[in-house]
Amino acid sequence: MSKERDYYFEQYQDRKMKKWAGFYLSEHTAMIEKEKKRQPTKKKTQMSWIEIDAVLAQAFQNQVEVMIQKEELDCEGNYGADIVGMIQGHDELGIYVDGHKIGYDEIRHVQFR
């Protein structure tokens, strides 16, 4: 090694994590802040199939928006955001709400918006 190179490494002080702090993109930091602020969706009461069917039938006939909580938990044990919209159709397995197919057995709670 040359003397100049030896001198450089003798004088160099690593800044550790400080040197990596500038590599976060604004999209990453915005996403991290959004996740910190996100409140988990509250668990709504489990409705019976008779109650669910009555609300869905009335909403479909009167073209009223519904809010549906699915019986589905994320990896942290929280319920996802409600699916909100008009019932566009149905079949023997489920309903269609704003492009989402929701099986009848997936519905935990439904209410008018």
The pLDDT profile of the chain, 113 residues, written as one tens digit per residue, is 566 666 766 777 766 655 555 666 677 777 777 776 677 788 899 999 999 999 999 999 999 999 999 998 888 888 988 999 999 999 999 999 988 899 999 999 999 98
| pLDDT at residue 105, as a whole number | 94
Question: Does residue 42 lie within any of the structural domains?
Answer: no
Please report where in the chains the tokens 């439904």 appear, as a residue. Answer: 110
Beta strands in the chain (DSSP E): 66-70, 83-85, 87-90, 94-97, 100-103, 107-112
The pLDDT assigned to 17 comes to 56
Same domain, 33 and 55: no
Q: Same domain, yes or no, for 18 and 71?
A: no
Residue 65 shares a structural domain with residue 102: yes
Residue 23 lies in a domain: yes
The angle formed by the CA atoms of residues 88, 58 and 113, to the nearest 5 degrees, is 75
Of 61, 28, 52, the C-alpha closest to 103 is 52
Give the domain range for residue 94.
49-112
Number of structural domains found in the chain: 2
Per-residue pLDDT, 58: 95
Q: DSSP state, 20?
A: G
Whether 21 and 66 share a structural domain: no
* Phi, psi angles (nearest 5°) of residue 75: -65, -15
